[in-house]
Amino acid sequence: MAAIRLQRFLAQAGVASRRKSEELITLGRVKVNGKVVTELGSKVDPARDKVSVGGRQLAAEEPVYVLFHKPKGYVTTLSDPEGRPTVMELLKTVKERLFPVGRLDFNTEGVLFLTNDGELAHGLMHPKGEVEKTYHVKLRGRVDDAALKSLARGVTLDDGSKTAPAGVARIGETDKNTWIELTLHEGKNRQVHRMAEAVGHQVLKLERVRYAGLVLGSLKAGSYRRLVAREVDELYRVAGLRKRPRRRGD
């Protein structure tokens, strides 16, 4: 394997984005073959050099990109201090180390993207990226047109902040409940629930049906599939990144 820049190696090892990796290097947190390296232009040979961060030796993994249908009743973290089940328990057959890109609440189901590509993850989660996320939301009560227009324009949340304009459409209704489709370009904490509360409604069910262009299709709850090359290329485009690391077989 040819020599690559140290910050790129760190990103491919899932440590952080390239920019964050550069900070770790300049802070003297990275060692190559036992010696601290602070020069950003430094290169390493992943097949020969030993790289460590904070005393932990790293290995460059093949980049892995997974689309997962998260079911209700799981948290989207690697571990949980409350002992709740995590999505990682349903992904034990994936040998590579993965981490979720963004979060879904314990009782929210739907599209979840996981990877070990730190640079892509950072690009998708950065607020400036405004990655599109679409939800189907079941709300208690009948939601009138005025409430839908408020959600579309942006509403003031419980902490005084205002949401950005959103895509909103009514997709189903009964005497007791209303289903809406909500498309966001931001990711505030529990944003959908708080937006609903701002217009006087309670979320009864929440499903994320699209994330950065990814949709579940026929993927059943609790199941996953690996993305194909064109899907990963599109994620890189959405994240505003120029190139992705190529996998063997691409």
Active centre residues (catalytic): 105
For helices 118-125 and 18-26, angle between their N-to-C axes, nearest 10 degrees = 110
Q: What are the tokens at 189?
A: 């904490």
Identify whether the C-beta of residue 183 lies closer than 8 Å to the C-beta of residue 166: yes
Name the β-bridge partners of 5: 43
